[in-house]
Amino acid sequence: MTLLAIENLTVQFPTRHGPFTAVKDAVLTVEPGQIHGLVGESGAGKSTIGAAIMGLLQGAGHITDGTVALKDTTISGSDEAAMRAIRGKRISMIFQDPLTSLNPLFTIGDQLVETITAHLRLSPSEARDKAIALLDRVGIQDPRTRIDQYPHQFSGGMRQRVVIALALSSEPEVIIADEPTTALDVSIQAQILDLIKALAEEGGVGIILITHDMGVIAETTDVVTVMYAGEVVETGPTAQVLGSPRHEYTKSLIAAVPRPNRKVHRFPQISYGGRATRFDIDDLASNWPKSETSEAPLLEVRGITKHFSSNAAILPWNRRYFTAVDDVSFEIRQGEVFGLVGESGSGKSTIARMIAKLYQTDGGEILFNGKSISESADSTYRRQIQMIFQDPFSSLNPRHRVADIVAEPALHLGAIPKSEIKGRVEDLLEKVGIGADAGSKFPHQFSGGQRQRIAIARALATQPRFLICDEPTSALDVSIQAQILNILKDLQDHLGLTMLFISHDLPVVRQMCDRIGVLRNGKLVEVADTEALFSKPQHAYTQELLSLMPKTDLLSDAALD
Amino acid sequence: MISFVLRRILQSVIVLLTVGLVAFSLFRFVGDPVENLLGQERTVADIERVRDQLGLNDAFPVQYFNFIKGIVVDGNFGVSFRQGRPVADIIIERAPATLELAFVSGLFAIILGISLGVYTAINREGWISSAIMTLSLVGVSLPTFLIGILLIYVFAVELGWLPSFGRGETVQIGWWSTGFLTASGLKALILPSITLGLYQMTLIMRLVRSEMLEVLRSDYVKFARARGLSQRAIHFRHALKNTLVPVITITGLQLGSIIAFAIITETVFQWPGVGLTFINAIQFVDIPVMATYLMLISVLFVAINLIVDVLYYIVDPRLKSDASSGAN
Amino acid sequence: MSAVSAFLSSDLFYSFKRSPVAIIAFLVTALLVGGAVFAPLVTSQNPFDPATLNLMNGFSAPMQPNQFTGDTFMFGADDQGRDVYATILYGMRISLFVGFAAVLLAMTIGITLGLISGYVGGRTDTIIMRIADIQLTFPAILVALLIFGIAKGITPPSMRDEIAIWVLIIAIGLSDWVQFARVVRGATLVEKSKEYVQAARLIGRSPFSIMARHILPNTLSPVLVIATISLALAIITEATLSFLGVGAPPTQPSLGTLIRIGQGFLFSGEWWILFFPAATLLALALSVNLLGDWLRDALNPRLQ
C-alpha cells in the first residue's frame, strides 16, 4: 500500500507582484522502505514540497490545490491541532544544518525525552531508556554518558546523528530529509547517507530525500523525481531516470554533472528554459595583447609559510599561533591551469591570497615572471593578476552599478585611459553575454550565473596574464557551473591565460586542470599531472580523497560524446 | 568558574579605578577647590596653607593614590562645598529613599515587562498585541518627567487620591529610614514608582519581544515544531529560556539605569533621594557631591554587571564546559 | 530623475505606501518640522522680542478674547503675554536644532569609530569597544548631566547662557555615539568578510577608500534606523535636561524649558501653558519614533 501520496499539489506565496507559484501540480508517492529522491536546482520548489507535507510553509504560503495523503487519510488542509498529531509522530523531518537544529541550552537527553513523551505513553525513565537506545542505534558511542551532554559538545556529524535520533523518537512512518548532508564534509556525508539507507531497509520507513546533488541521488535513492521551476519534469526508478533520461531538462542536468572518471573538452550546452547565453570569445581574443611565449614558469612559489594567531590576546606572550601554510613550493607554467585541492582549512585559499598580495608571507618568496612580487611595483603586478571569487552574491558591491564594478580595477590601476573605459566596459559586458545595457543596473537584478559573468568581465578589464579562481563555481547550481567552467576553459584556450584553480571538488578539478597539487593541513602532499593523479595517486591522503568521490556510474554519458 | 569570576572582578576593579580617576580629575581641575573652600577673604599664605593641607602640591599620581586611599580606608569622600557636611553623611542619609524607589519600580518593570513581552511575541498578530505595541511606543516617546506631571495632575490634583510629593511618613530602622511600613509611605511610593518604572518596562518589553521573535525564527524552534511538540513546550520551554540569555544582560543594565533615571523622578516628586541631591550639586557645581555620586553609581553598575555575568554563566552551558568538550 | 523613479518603485516606498501609521507619522513630523523652520512666517509674534509683547495679554485662555485687550490666542498666552502657539514653534526650533546637531555629532563619531574598529580589528578594536562598553553602562542622561556639570564648572558664569545650547549638543552627542559605533562595527565585520572587499584590496585600494567607498554605503540602512530613533531620544533628552534646569536657558527656551515653566501654573488652573508644549513634544517624539519603528521593520530583510 502506498505510504504517502501527493496528488496535483500546488503551493502559492502571495507577493507584492501577485501570487508566486512555488510548486505546480506536483505528483509523488512513497512506499514503505523506499528512499524517494527529490532533485532540482535552487528555486525548483523541492524544499517547499517538504514543508507543505509537514504543514510548515513559511509565512503566507499555502496549498491552493491538490492533496497530501498519508495511507488512507488526507492530511493536507487539516487544522493545526490535527497536524500536530501527525507532525513528528507519523512524519518526521531532518534539516540541513545540524549546528543550528538543536537547542543549545538543553541537553540532548532533555530534547529526546521531551519528544518521546510528547508522542508515546512512556514514563520518564522508560523514555530515557528509549532515548539511550535511539542514540545507540544512530551510532553514538557511549550513549549513557553522552545523553547528558549539550549539543555544543558534539561534532557536526555527531549532531546530525542526534537530529536523526530525534526524528526517529516517535517511530515515524515517513521521514523527510531536506539536504541532510550538504553542510557536512565528504567523509561524514557518506556515513550519514549509510545511516539513512539502513533506516529505510531495516525499519521500513519511507524517506523523501531532498537534495541538489546528483551524486547523492545516484548513490542513495530507489526512485527519483526531478523538478524544474516548481514542476515535476520526470519521475521513475533512479537507474532508469539517470541512465536514460527522457526529458530535455533531465538530460541537460545530467550532462552538466562533472564526472570524476573522465575529462570532457566542453560541457554540452543543452539549453533548457532559454538560460544558456552566448560567450563571444573569438572577438575578445582578437583585441587581446599577445603574451610572450616562453618556457620559463610564470609563477614560482618557493617555500611559503603563513601563521595566524588563534586568539587576539593583548599581551604578546599570551598569543597562540597555528600554521595555515607550511613551506609550500610549486610553479605554474605559462598558459597552464594549475589546480590546488584540499578540504576546508587545508590552506588553499590562504596560498591564493598570498599570491594576490592580500596577505603577507611569513617566510619564503613568490616570483612572478622571474621577479619577486614583494619587490616589483605594486600596480604593475596587480594589473597582471586578477581573481574570480567563490560567491557571486558577495563579490559584487551591492551599492555600486555594474559598469562601475567592472571599471574599478582597470581605472584604479591605470590600465586604460579614463576616456576609453566606458567603451571597454560595454564591450566586455556584451562579450560575456550580459549585454551592454546591464551597466546601469545593480547586482541584485541578476542571477548567480549572470553575476559570475559580471565578475569575469571585471577580471578581464585589466587584460591580466594570470587569473586566480577561488572555488569559482561552488556556490552555483550544476547547470550554471557547467556554463562558467566552459567560459573559463575558453579563456585559457583563446587568450592564453595562466590560471590557479582552487577547489574542494575533485570532479571539477579534473575537468579544468593540467596539473594538480593536493594540500592537507597546510602542507603540499603531492603534485602531479591531472591524469596521472587520478589514475595512479601516490600519497595515501590523495587515495582517500579519490575514494570518497561520488559514484556517477549510473549517469547517462549520452550527451558527453 | 573561579578563574572566570576572578577575571571579571579584576576587570571591575580596573573600571572603578578609571572612574575614580575621572572623579578625581573633576575634583582637582573643575573649579578651584581652594577658592571654593576659602571664599572671598584670603591671603596668599592662606592659599598656600590650604593647598598644603589638601595635598595639592604633591605629584598627581600621589594625589590620586591618596584620594583612592582616603575613600577605601576611611570612607572619606570629601566635604560638600555647599552644605559644608561630609559627603558620605549626606549620601547615607539620602540613599534609602532612592533605593526603595528603585527597588519597587525595578520589580514593576521586570515583572510586567517580561510578561507583556512574551505575550506580544507569542500572539504577534492579535489586536491586543498591536495595541500594546503602539502604547509602548507612546511610552518610549513620553519623557519621564511628563509621565510624572501627568500622574500628579490626574491622581493628586484632580482626584486627590495620592500625594503629589515627598515620601510620606517614614520609620527609622537604625540608619535606614523606610517608607514600607506606613500607609502614607506606601501611598507616596505608588506614583513615583510607576513614573520611574514605566519607561524601563517598555524597554524590557520591547527587548523581550524582539529577542523572542528572533528565537522563534531559529532552526531549532522550527525543528521542535517539526517534531510535533506542543505550542506550550515550544514557547515556554525552548523559546523562553533562549530568550532569557540576552535579556538578562540588558535587563541588568536597565536596572542600573533606574538609579540614574531616579534623578528625574525625584525632581518631579521632590523625592528626598540621592538623585535630587545630585541635580542640586550640578546646579551649584558642588564637585565633591558630583564626584561621589559618580563613583557610587559606578560601584553599583559594576556590581550589577558582575552578577549578570555570573547569571549568564549559569544559564548558558556553552560557557562552562570548555574542559569537557574534547569528548567527540 | 532616475533616482526619484527608482525610489518610487523601491520596496521601501511600497512598504511606506501600505503603512498608514508611517504615512501619518511622516506627515506629522513634516508638519512640525516645517512649522519650526518657517516659524517667523506662520506666527505674528516673536515671543522673545520684548517689543512685540503686551503684558496685558498674560494668562489669556485658549480661543477666548482677552478681557483687557480683546486679543484671541489659539493656544492661549503665558504669564508674560506670549502667544503659546508662537513659543511652541520657536521652542521647537531649539529642540530640533539641538536634536539634529547632537545626532549628527553622535553619528560622525560613531560611524568613524565603528568603521575603524570593525575594519582594522585587533587591539584598536578591543580598545574602542571597551570604552564603548564602559560608557554604555552609564545611561545617556547621566553622561549628559556630567558633561553639562563639567562644562558649567570650567566656563565663566557670564558665558554660560551663550554656550548652553552648544554644551547641550556636545553632551547629548557624546552620550549617544556608542549605539552608532556598535551597529556600524557589526555591519562592517559582516561586510569586511564579503568578497567585494577582497576584490577592492586585490587591486590595491587603500583602507580609507575601501572603508569610505565600499563598506560605508552598505552599512547605512541600520544607521538610518538608529539615527531616527536617536533623534527622538535626543529630543527627549534635551527636553529632560531643560526640564531639570540644566539645559536651554530661559532666554532661548526649548520645549523642555516651556514645560518647566508651565508646570508652575498647572496647579493654579492655567493648564494650557503646560499642556500645548507637552502635547507638541509628545507628538514630535512619537511620530519620529513611529517612523523609526517602521523603518526598522521595512529595512529588516528577515521580516519580508
A166-206 pLDDT per residue, tens: 988 888 899 999 988 887 777 788 888 888 998 888 888 99
Q: Do A312 and C203 touch (CB under 8 A)?
A: no
Reduce the DSSP state of residue A174 to 3 states and report it.
Answer: strand
Q: Report whether A212 contacts A474 (CB < 8 A).
A: no
For residues C60 and C291, the model is more confident at: C291
Q: Do C198 and A458 touch (CB under 8 A)?
A: no
Q: Using CA atoms, how far apart are residues C287 and A134, in angstroms rounded to an integer?
A: 56
Complex confidence, ipTM: 0.80
pLDDT of A387 reads 92
pLDDT of C270 higher than 80: no
The minimum CA-CA distance between C32 and chain A, rounded to whole Å, is 33
Residues of A in contact with B227 (CB under 8 A): 87-88, 92-93, 115, 118, 166-167, 169-170
Question: b/e per residue, C138-153, with b = 16+ CB within 10 A?
Answer: bbbbbbbbbbbbbbbb
- Mean pLDDT lowest among A289-303, C60-74, C84-98, C237-251: C60-74
pLDDT of A319 reads 65
Those chains having 3 or more beta-carbon pairs within 8 angstroms of chain C are: A, B
Residues of C in contact with B257 (CB under 8 A): 139, 142
Residue of C nearest to A311 (CA): C122
Average pLDDT, chain C: 82
Q: Report whether B233 contacts B179 (CB < 8 A).
A: no
pLDDT less than 70: residues of chain A: 270-279, 290-294, 310-319, 559-561
For A99, residues 6+ apart whose C-beta sits below 8 A from its C-beta are A156, A159, A183
CA distances from A561 to A18, A250, A459, B111, C261 (A): 44, 17, 32, 73, 91
Burial label for B127, CB within 10 Å (0-12, 13-18, 19+), is: exposed
Nearest to C204 among A314, A379, A394 (CB): A379
Q: Do B321 and A152 touch (CB under 8 A)?
A: yes
Q: Using CA atoms, how far apart are residues B185 and B170, in angstroms rounded to an integer?
A: 6
CA distances from A401 to A390, A397, A442, A462, B237 (A): 20, 8, 5, 18, 48
Nearest to A153 among B223, B226, B324 (CB): B324
Task: Give residue-wise pLDDT tens across range B212-247.
Answer: 888 888 888 888 888 888 888 888 888 888 888 778
pLDDT of A310 reads 63
Residues of B in contact with A93 (CB under 8 A): 223, 226-227
Nearest of A467, A508, A476, A492 to residue A352 by alpha carbon: A467
pLDDT of C67 reads 67
For residues B120 and B178, the model is more confident at: B120
Residue B236 CB coordination number (10 Å): 13
Residues of B in contact with A169 (CB under 8 A): 227
pLDDT of A65 reads 87
Task: Give residue-wise pLDDT tens across range B109-137.
Answer: 889 998 999 999 888 878 888 888 888 88
pLDDT of A402 reads 92
B6-10: long-range contacts at Cβ-Cβ below 8 A with a sequence spacing of 24 or more? B8/B305, B8/B306, B8/B309, B8/B310, B9/B306
Size of interface B-C (CB pairs under 8 A): 104
Q: Report whether A174 contacts A207 (CB < 8 A).
A: yes
pLDDT of B325 reads 35
Q: Hey, what's the cell of A246?
A: 527522457
pLDDT of B322 reads 44
pLDDT of A547 reads 86
pLDDT of B152 higher than 50: yes
Type of residue numbered B59? A
Average pLDDT, chain B: 79
Helix (H) or strand (E) holding A516: strand A515-520
C291 touches chain B (CB under 8 A): no
Type of residue numbered B318? R
Taking the C-alpha atoms of A467, A292, A415 and A435 in order, what is their torsion angle to the nearest 10 degrees? -60
For residues C270 and B154, the model is more confident at: B154
pLDDT of C70 higher than 70: no
> Among the residues of chain B, which ranges form H helices?
2-29, 33-38, 44-54, 60-74, 87-122, 127-141, 144-151, 183-216, 219-226, 231-232, 240-269, 274-283, 287-315, 317-320
Q: Hey, what's the cell of B250?
A: 540588558
Residues of B in contact with A170 (CB under 8 A): 227-228
CA distances from A399 to A2, A359, B264, C12 (A): 52, 26, 44, 15
Nearest to B217 among C239, C290, C302 (CB): C302
Those chains having 3 or more beta-carbon pairs within 8 angstroms of chain A are: B, C
Residues of C in contact with A314 (CB under 8 A): 123, 126
Burial label for B93, CB within 10 Å (0-12, 13-18, 19+), is: middle
pLDDT of B76 higher than 80: no
Q: Using CA atoms, how far apart are residues A393 and A390, in angstroms rounded to an integer?
A: 9
Q: Do B229 and A118 touch (CB under 8 A)?
A: yes
pLDDT of C59 higher than 70: no
Substitution target from C7, C124, C196, C215 for chain A, most A beta carbons within 10 A? C196
Q: Using CA atoms, how far apart are residues C192 and C84, in angstroms rounded to an integer?
A: 52
Task: Give residue-wise pLDDT tens across range B186-214.
Answer: 888 888 998 888 888 888 888 888 888 88
Q: Do C290 and B137 touch (CB under 8 A)?
A: yes
Q: Using CA atoms, how far apart are residues C256 and C237, in angstroms rounded to an integer?
A: 9
The pTM of the whole model exceeds 0.95: no
pLDDT of B295 reads 82
Residue of B nearest to C134 (CA): B15
Confidence band of B61 (pLDDT split at 50, 70, 90): confident
Q: Using CA atoms, how far apart are residues C250 and C161, in angstroms rounded to an integer?
A: 9
Residue of C nearest to A392 (CA): C195
B120-126: long-range contacts at Cβ-Cβ below 8 A with a sequence spacing of 24 or more? B120/B205, B120/B209, B121/B208, B121/B209, B121/B212, B121/B213, B121/B216, B121/B239, B122/B212, B122/B235, B124/B213
Q: Taking the mean position of all CA atoms in its chain, how far away is CA B11? A: 20
For residues A407 and C296, the model is more confident at: A407
Q: Do A394 and C122 touch (CB under 8 A)?
A: no
Beta strands in A71-183 (DSSP E): 73-74, 91-94, 174-178
